[in-house]
């Protein structure tokens, strides 16, 4: 239960991820997500009963931490895109990169909170202290959580965003066959994450992206 503080930032992060897919799709000519009422930060329309509730709760109960979660994918109709291949790449790529941007936002939130630590401690209130510690841990965790979400979603295996980017640059016949892997690809991803070499590369990338964030906190906080 020590990672309970990650739940709010996790929920917000997966919602932003999906909203950005829909927003960029709208800019590329597809209003499907807009008409479905999905261009909102209100989490309710985005909640996936399994990915947003059951999986995180199960992770907390079994392992005491949240490993992964996802929101309901926003509906997108690529046939409405102005430029099919280019816009498919843009719409798919913006989700993971929105998480990387949120990681940077969390970094600056941590810096600001650390700058004002003395102010919060001046209240001499246990409630204020606990709230401060919760929020600080939430944003600290949000840095790494969003990097993990961003890198994970860029893995080029269906149904992850990286697979849509790859499929957009493959020849049409190969792309069609590749896309048909569909949700079964998640089992491939789970297998890969259990392979030591792949897992090592994955978390090496996460740590490399996190290094500049850690440096910013060290020099500015």
* Residues tagged active-site: 18
CB 33 within 8 A of CB 74: yes
Sign of CA dihedral 158, 162, 168, 169: negative
Q: What whole-number distance in Å separates Cα of residue 194 and Cα of residue 180?
A: 24
Q: What whole-number distance in Å separates Cα of residue 37 and Cα of residue 80?
A: 18
Compute φ and ψ for 76, nearest 5 degrees: -135, 135
Helix axes 172-179, 161-169, angle to 10 degrees: 160
């Amino acid at each position: 239960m020590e990672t309970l503080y990650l739940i709010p930032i996790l929920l917000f992060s997966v919602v932003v991820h999906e909203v950005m897919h829909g927003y960029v799709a709208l800019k590329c000519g597809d209003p499907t997500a807009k008409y479905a009422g999905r261009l909102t930060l209100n989490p309710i329309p985005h909640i996936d009963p399994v990915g947003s509730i059951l999986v995180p709760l199960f992770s907390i109960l079994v392992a005491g931490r949240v490993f992964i979660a996802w929101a309901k994918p926003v509906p997108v109709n690529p046939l409405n895109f102005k430029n099919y291949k280019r816009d498919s790449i843009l719409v798919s790529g913006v989700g993971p990169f929105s998480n990387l941007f949120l990681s940077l936002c969390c970094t600056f939130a941590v810096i600001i909170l650390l700058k004002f630590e003395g102010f919060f401690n001046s209240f001499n209130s246990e409630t204020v202290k606990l709230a401060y510690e919760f929020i600080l841990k939430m944003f600290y965790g949000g840095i790494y959580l969003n990097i993990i979400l961003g890198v994970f979603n860029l893995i080029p295996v269906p149904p992850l965003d990286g697979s849509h980017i790859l499929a957009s640059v493959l020849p049409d016949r190969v792309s069609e066959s590749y896309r048909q892997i569909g949700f079964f690809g998640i089992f491939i991803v789970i297998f890969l994450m259990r392979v030591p070499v792949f897992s090592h590369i994955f978390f090496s990338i996460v740590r490399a992206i996190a290094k500049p964030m850690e440096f910013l906190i060290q020099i500015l906080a």
